[in-house]
Structure formats: structure tokens, C-alpha cells
């Protein structure tokens, strides 16, 4: 029983503000892996207290996307659990109760300052080149006065009483001790006048009540860290362990932003990045396995991932590396599986291919060169419409376009002898190569013009697999066309 009691519990706590950013996928993945590597629980909590930023459908979408890449939650708004509700707006009563507790113990106070006063105060601080912060006017109000004004219906927020001097030392699992000067800390708002808690309050209460053992979050939250710890102390609660995940930067060292390309997982999935590739790639954004192994399945990661491989220095997002992984996983697929994955992309391009074996032949022409599934459309373009080309393209080395056409003519006669039943890559290859050998001619003098005639392209898959994919009739038609070009 003890074993279960000691299970570690980690949460992914996104705000439902739209699509899933690559950084959030990485945070969710690391959280999942740290939990699963120690047989712990992976929990979803939706932090929706900032209703202005909320996008409807974002939570369902996020659950769907994470499920697509293989991450399933053990607890969450969609699957329940012992520590719910798992959506913050469903927990407003809990926050109120806990905030009142802080008022009673004197760790927090009501602030009745009007927005006008605060605006004026900030403008004066700005003019004085002082950092913006609350001047603590209401901290001096007596409890009786504060209670009286609240009872009279005056609008107020609840602020945390921060220490006014000394240092706050906090411990991050990746960075060790970090010291903050108390003088730099603002008496932050914990509860807004409409009864909605701020991130600081809700996050700490939820992590405590949901028995979260390790908080994993992006290191943009480091400035909040001392405030969180002080809040745990104010509640007299033991804080969980904190792991601030390193930033993800682009290759130039800047923030990952929409300007340099896609930043949302949905965009990558839509273009045909495979879940396996997204997982493998994201796992190595800040995790450094002991061996230099590059290829990792989710199953292996669940076993091997550990805190000791994490560092605090920023991870670099290299889109080419992602393409490399995706190409790798595309090549690992069986033709049949890849054909099924490619089918919708061809359909969306107005090129449905009903017969599975035909589709597999098309896909086999592209598999080696695909970086993402959507590439199937471009790479098989020549199958659906022979590109216009010039007879110059038929020539090869010393072979003139005219001689190439003559070669095509005799090759065509030879190919016509092959029946539709025997028209497959292996048979074509065996027959044509034997025929060329028998004529004591160079392979290229026949195969180059044949390939160009079939594809209309300078670079393309080989002539035999292309002929097999096109079928007998279409291949002969294209060769006849080349002869007349």
C-alpha cells in the first residue's frame, strides 16, 4: 500500500488559449515521462481563470492532440479522478475558502485601493524610474477597519504580505539554490475583486490539494518561483519539488515564434509529421541521454527518461532535425501503412486513389524522399499529370535527343511484348536489362530516355518502379509521346 501512497504525481497545467505550442508539447511530454519513468500519475489541470484569453474548444483540442501523439492522462476534466474538479473555474469556492484562511492568519490583507489610485501611483513610480509595485497603503489598515469596509460592500482585492527585507532562497531541481531579494517582491494580488484568483494563488492551492509531487513548468515562470514558495509558507504547506524546464530557442537564439515557421503541433500534424517523430524530436529538446542514441520510441523514453539527463541551458529548435526524424519514421512504415497515411493528402489535392495496390505503388516511388506526408502530393505529381518537357531532356551524356528517341522506339516494341499481367517492377527490370545486355549497349542509353519519357523530370524515381506504378497502358502512351516530342 505504501508503494501506491508514494506514487509521484505530476501535472500539465495549460491555459486553454488556443492551439498547442511546441513548447507546451515539450512540457507535457517531459511531465508525462518523468511521471511514467517512476510509475507515477500524469494529471491534466485546466488553468482557465483568465477568461478573456480563453478559446472555446481549446481543452478538447489539447486532449485530442496529446492523445494523437500518445500521451494519455490518468486524471483530468475528461476522465475524472480523486482530486477534481480539474478545471480551475470549477474550484472558485476552494480558492475563496483558502484566501479567507490567509486573511485570518494575517498572511494576506484586503486592498481597497481604486484602479484610479493605482494608475496614478504607477505613473508616479514610472516618472521616478521606480519599478512598478503596490505601495502597501492598505497593509496598514486594522483588521476591524478592513472587516467593516468589506461588510459595507466596498470592492477589494486580496494581496499577499511579502517580507520587506532579507532573502528568499528557493531550490530548483535543475539549477540548485536560487536567491531572490525580498525587497524586489511586490505584495501580489492573490484574489481579484470579482472573486477570481490569480495564477499564483490558484496554482499553489491546486498543486497542494491535488498532491502534486513535482511541478514541471517552463522557466519563464522562474520570477514567480519565490512568490510561490512564500505562499506555500504562508499556508504552512510543504512545497512540491520544482523543475523549471529550459527555454526552447530558434537557431538564431531568439524566441520560437510564428514568424520563423510553424509553432503549433496541430500545424505539424496537418502537414504529416508523425507522432513518433514529434515525440522523439521533442524529447531531445533539453534532455540529454547518457548514450548518444538518437532514435527513441515513447516506450523506451518511458523507461529511460530521467531528471539527471535534464539541463538548465536552452534547447535549440532545429526544424531540419525534425524533418530528419520524420523522414526516418516515414521510411520505417510498411507500404500499406504509409499508403493509408498518405491517402487523405492525395484526396485533399483532388487525386483520390481507390485501389490500395495502386496507391502503394505510388507511395513506394516517394517513400525514400518524403520528409512529411504532404510531400506525397508533390512527389507523385508527375503520375497524375506528365509535366511538359523539352526533347533535350531525353539526351544523356553523348546520346543525342534524336538517338534517344530511336532507342525509345525499339524499347517500346520490346515493352509491348510484355503483357499487363507481367507488368511489374521485377519482371520489367529483368527483361529490359537482359535485352540491353543482349544488344551490348549501355544501360543509360535506354534507361535514361525511358525514365524521362515516363516522368518528364530530370530527377525522379527509377524507370522500372515508375513504369510499374503507371501501368502498361499509360507507360506505353508516355513513351509514344516522347518519341513524337
User: Which segment (1-9, 11-19, 166-174, 376-384) binds ligand GLU by CB under 6 A?
Assistant: 11-19
- Per the annotation, the verdict on 258 as an active-site residue is yes
Q: How far is the CB of 15 from ligand GLU (least distance, A)?
A: 4
Of 90, 1, 16, give the one whose Cα is nearest residue 54.
16
Interface with ligand GLU, residue 40, by CB under 6 A? no
Of 234, 88, 89, 215, give the one whose Cα is nearest residue 159.
234
The count of residues interacting with ligand GLU (CB under 6 A) is: 7
Comparing CB distances to ligand GLU, the nearer of 217 and 361 is: 217
Dihedral angle over CA of 9, 14, 16, 19, nearest 10: -120
Comparing CB distances to ligand GLU, the nearer of 203 and 367 is: 203
Three-class DSSP category at 205: helix
> What backbone torsions phi and psi does residue 113 show, to the nearest 5 degrees?
-60, 140
Check: CB of residue 226 under 8 Å from CB of residue 170: yes
Interface with ligand GLU, residue 276, by CB under 6 A? no
Interface with ligand GLU, residue 246, by CB under 6 A? no
User: Which segment (13-21, 51-59, 324-332, 475-483) binds ligand GLU by CB under 6 A?
Assistant: 13-21
Of 147, 247, 139, 252, give the one whose Cα is nearest residue 188.
139
Interface with ligand GLU, residue 15, by CB under 6 A? yes
Q: How far is the CB of 220 from ligand GLU (least distance, A)?
A: 8
Interface with ligand GLU, residue 88, by CB under 6 A? no
Comparing CB distances to ligand GLU, the nearer of 139 and 192 is: 192
Q: How far is the CB of 21 from ligand GLU (least distance, A)?
A: 9
* Alpha-carbon span 316 to 313, nearest angstrom: 10
How many other CB atoms are found less than 10 A from the CB of residue 239?
Answer: 20
Catalytic site residue from 39, 120, 258, 299: 258
Interface with ligand GLU, residue 203, by CB under 6 A? yes
Displacement of CA 221 from its chain's centroid (Å):
20
Interface with ligand GLU, residue 23, by CB under 6 A? no
Interface with ligand GLU, residue 188, by CB under 6 A? no
Please report which residue ranges of 284-423 form alpha helices under DSSP H: 298-304, 319-332, 335-348, 356-366, 375-379, 381-384, 401-416
Active-site residues, by number, are: 258
List residues near ligand GLU by CB under 6 A. Answer: 13-15, 47, 203, 217, 221
Amino acid at each position: 500500500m505504501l508503494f501506491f501512497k508514494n506514487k509521484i504525481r505530476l501535472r500539465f497545467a495549460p491555459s486553454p488559449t488556443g492551439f498547442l505550442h511546441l513548447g507546451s508539447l515539450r512540457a507535457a511530454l517531459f511531465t508525462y515521462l518523468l511521471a511514467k519513468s517512476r510509475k507515477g500519475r500524469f494529471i491534466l489541470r485546466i488553468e482557465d481563470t483568465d477568461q478573456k484569453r480563453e478559446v472555446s474548444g481549446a481543452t478538447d483540442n489539447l486532449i485530442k492532440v496529446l492523445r494523437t501523439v500518445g500521451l494519455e492522462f490518468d486524471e483530468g476534466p475528461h476522465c475524472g479522478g480523486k482530486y477534481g474538479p480539474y478545471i480551475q473555474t470549477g474550484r472558485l469556492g476552494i480558492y475563496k475558502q483558502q484566501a479567507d484562511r490567509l486573511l485570518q492568519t494575517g498572511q494576506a490583507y484586503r486592498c481597497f485601493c481604486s484602479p484610479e489610485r493605482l494608475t496614478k501611483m504607477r505613473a508616479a513610480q514610472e516618472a521616478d524610474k521606480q519599478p512598478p509595485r503596490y505601495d502597501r497603503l492598505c497593509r496598514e489598515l486594522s483588521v476591524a477597519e478592513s472587516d467593516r469596509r468589506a461588510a459595507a460592500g466596498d470592492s477589494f482585492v486580496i494581496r499577499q504580505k511579502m517580507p520587506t527585507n532579507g532573502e528568499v532562497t528557493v531550490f530548483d531541481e535543475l539549477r540548485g539554490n536560487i536567491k531572490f531579494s525580498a525587497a524586489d517582491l511586490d505584495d501580489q494580488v492573490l484574489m481579484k475583486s470579482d472573486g477570481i484568483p490569480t495564477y499564483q494563488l490558484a496554482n499553489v492551492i491546486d498543486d497542494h490539494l491535488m498532491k502534486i509531487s513535482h511541478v514541471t513548468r517552463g522557466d519563464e515562470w522562474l520570477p514567480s518561483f519565490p512568490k510561490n514558495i512564500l505562499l506555500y509558507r504562508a499556508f504552512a504547506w510543504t512545497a512540491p519539488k520544482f523543475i523549471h524546464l529550459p527555454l526552447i530557442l530558434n537557431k538564431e537564439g531568439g524566441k520560437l515564434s510564428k514568424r520563423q515557421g510553424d509553432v503549433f503541433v496541430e500545424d505539424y500534424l496537418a502537414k504529416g509529421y508523425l507522432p513518433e517523430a514529434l515525440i522523439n524530436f521533442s524529447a531531445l529538446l533539453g534532455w540529454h541521454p547518457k548514450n548518444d542514441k538518437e532514435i527513441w520510441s515513447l516506450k523506451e523514453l518511458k523507461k529511460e527518461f530521467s531528471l539527471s539527463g535534464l539541463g538548465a541551458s536552452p534547447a535549440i529548435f532545429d526544424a531540419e532535425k525534425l524533418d530528419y526524424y520524420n523522414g526516418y519514421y516515414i521510411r520505417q512504415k510498411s507500404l500499406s501503412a504509409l499508403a493509408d497515411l498518405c491517402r487523405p493528402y492525395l484526396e485533399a489535392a483532388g487525386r483520390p486513389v481507390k485501389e490500395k495496390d495502386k496507391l502503394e505503388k505510388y507511395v513506394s516511388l516517394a517513400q525514400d524522399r518524403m520528409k512529411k506526408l504532404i510531400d506525397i502530393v508533390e512527389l507523385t505529381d508527375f503520375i497524375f499529370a506528365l509535366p511538359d518537357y523539352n526533347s533535350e531532356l531525353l539526351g544523356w551524356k553523348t546520346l543525342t535527343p534524336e538517338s534517344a528517341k530511336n532507342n525509345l522506339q525499339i524499347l517500346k516494341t520490346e515493352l509491348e511484348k510484355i503483357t499487363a499481367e507481367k507488368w511489374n517492377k521485377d519482371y520489367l527490370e529483368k527483361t529490359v536489362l537482359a535485352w540491353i545486355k543482349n544488344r551490348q549497349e549501355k544501360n543509360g542509353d535506354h534507361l535514361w530516355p525511358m525514365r524521362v519519357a515516363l516522368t518528364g523530370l530530370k530527377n525522379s524515381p527509377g524507370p522500372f518502379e515508375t513504369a510499374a506504378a503507371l501501368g502498361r497502358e499509360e507507360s506505353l502512351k508516355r513513351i509514344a509521346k516522347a518519341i513524337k516530342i
